Amino acid sequence: MAIPSPSISQPSAAPKTLSVVLAAGQGTRMRSALPKVLHKVAGLSMIGHVLKAVSESVADAATVVVGPDSDIVADEARKLFPDARIAVQQDRLGTAHAVLQARESIGAGHDVVIVLYADTPLVRPGTLTRLRDAVVNGAAVAALGFEAGDPTGYGRFIMNGDELAAIREHKDASEAERRITLCNGGLMALDGRHALELLGRIGNANSQKEFYLTDVVEVARKAGLRAVAVTASEDEVMGVDDRVKLAAAERIMQDRLREKAMRDGVTLIDPASVYFSHDTKIAADVTVEPHVFFGLNVSVESDAVIHAHSHIEGATIGKGVHVGPFVRLRPGAVLAEGSRVGNFCEVKNAAIGRGAKVNHLSYIGDADVGARANIGAGTITCNYDGYFKHRTAIGENAFIGSNASLVAPVTIAAGSYVGSGSVVTKDVPEGALAIGRGQQVNKEGWASRFHAAMAQRKAAGTA
Ligand code: UD1
């Protein structure tokens, strides 16, 4: 093989990069009907995290290598990376064999090919850029290593000065080599001009009779090409193959998300008790009290306060809004500036207008609540008739008395009143008072007579 010119592109030109994501693992140790790489960390599948890191950094193109019957993995990959190509590895013959299932994409003329594992969800975009740049700067192979607390089981980096001489799999390593703690994290970047040829030269003469991707280092060096090590933290390359590791990955990811929120200006009174999703958008000067869970697709604008023990998903929370304590916001909850949704309330698929108040023990579902409306304690929108959902419209400045049931579809016009305890089944016109409850009757003297009679009976010993 001809020795290539040392670097791929001029510094100004972005190198064309292909990412090959290996996702053919069975994940039997997860003990799950779900393929391993679809298990979630911070609300996103592991393969989703990997593809997200790819799209935020290096990728012009991606090919995902899946096992047979892995349509749901392919579907998930396309959600995150719509142009991803899918290749199938029928037999699991090793990591190099897996990469070669992406032969067609690798042969399509990319400057750099990056290999990633779909069960390594903590990899950072910046690390992928560093791997790519190592190849752009003249290496034919750049492998990602880490200092292992316990190196057992990992491939070891055999260094020769600055160069990576070989990666030796644990099972094939000598005693001396097993003492090396700089280990292979699995991710690798290859010079796209040579990738196919180098991968094709890898054999399976090893203890596991597998085609090891790691052998590409020695193959490259034999061809007179350069291999280097790039390093990352152990956390970043952590592979997840059981639920214990999944929980460990979740902890690390949550710590990252918490730290990012705080660095972006969010006050977390007790960071360890706040859970974010990978896509939570939270502005500076928001305060989050302890024990708050953010599910997917939530955004919070500045000066909002999320009080303790609230569960929030699919919600848009405006500037200065107060939520909680003990609030559940479900998908489609849109809380406009200055509104309040207070303790023990649930809001779903409903818009709460500017300055409106839903303060105590209410369920507001499939509704539009106008600006400055006041929803009294215990108010319920009866939005479901057992077959269909219906909407409730509440106009600006309307006042809904406590414990009202608003039977949708129904409109309560601006500025109107609903008496406490009413069951409202008909539209309420602007400025009106609606009362929909049994009329009160006062029976003069009844209680006094009752008490006197009962006391007499008790004294006489008659029931
Ligand atoms: C691999 C590395 C090892 C490294 C370790 C880090 C090789 C030969 N060894 O070992 O140096 O320290 O990762 O975790 O590369 N896969 C396929 N098809 C296959 C085989 C594997 O898609 O035929 C995928 C797996 O799903 C997984 C990844 O490749 O995502 C790594 O495979 P795994 O068997 O976990 O590799 P290790 O033996 O741990």
Q: What pLDDT, in 10s, does the model give residues 352-389?
A: 999 999 999 999 999 999 999 999 999 999 999 999 99
Residue nearest to atom 3 of ligand 1 (CA): 155
* Average pLDDT over every residue of 181-191: 98
For 207-258, what is each residue's pLDDT tens digit?
899 999 999 999 999 999 999 999 999 999 999 999 999 999 999 999 999 9
CA atoms of 250 and 238, how far apart (whole Å): 11
Ligand 1 centroid, distance to 64 Cα (angstroms): 15
Banded pLDDT at 58 (limits 50, 70, 90) = confident
pLDDT higher than threshold 80 for residue 270: yes
Ligand 1 centroid, distance to 186 Cα (angstroms): 7
Out of 95, 101, 147, 234, mutate this one to test ligand 1's pocket (max ligand atoms within 8 Å of CB): namely 95
Residue nearest to atom 22 of ligand 1 (CA): 24
Banded pLDDT at 4 (limits 50, 70, 90) = low
Ligand 1 centroid, distance to 1 Cα (angstroms): 28
Long-range contacts of 400-407 (CB under 8 A, 24+ apart): 400/373, 400/374, 400/375, 400/376, 401/376, 402/376, 402/377, 402/378, 403/376, 403/377, 403/378, 403/379, 404/376, 404/378, 404/379, 404/380, 405/379, 405/380, 406/367, 406/379, 406/380, 406/381, 406/382, 407/382
**Ligand 1 site, CB within 6 A:** 22, 24-25, 65, 89, 92-95, 97-98, 117-119, 154-155, 167, 169, 183-186, 212-214, 239
Residue 360 is a catalytic residue: yes
Residue 421 contacts residue 403 (beta carbons within 8 Å) = yes
Out of 66, 117, 123, mutate this one to test ligand 1's pocket (max ligand atoms within 8 Å of CB): namely 117
Supply the pTM of this predicted model. 0.94
**Strand runs (DSSP E) across 93-138, as ranges?**
112-117
Ligand 1 centroid, distance to 117 Cα (angstroms): 8
Ligand 1 centroid, distance to 98 Cα (angstroms): 9
pLDDT at res. 171: 94
CA atoms of 44 and 38, how far apart (whole Å): 8
pLDDT at res. 3: 59
Q: Looking at the CA of residue 212, tell me the nearest atom of ligand 1.
A: 8
Residue 424 contacts residue 412 (beta carbons within 8 Å) = yes
pLDDT at res. 9: 62
Catalytic residue chosen out of the listed positions 170, 278, 291, 360: 360
Q: Looking at the CA of residue 184, tell me the nearest atom of ligand 1.
A: 12
Q: Looking at the CA of residue 119, tell me the nearest atom of ligand 1.
A: 30
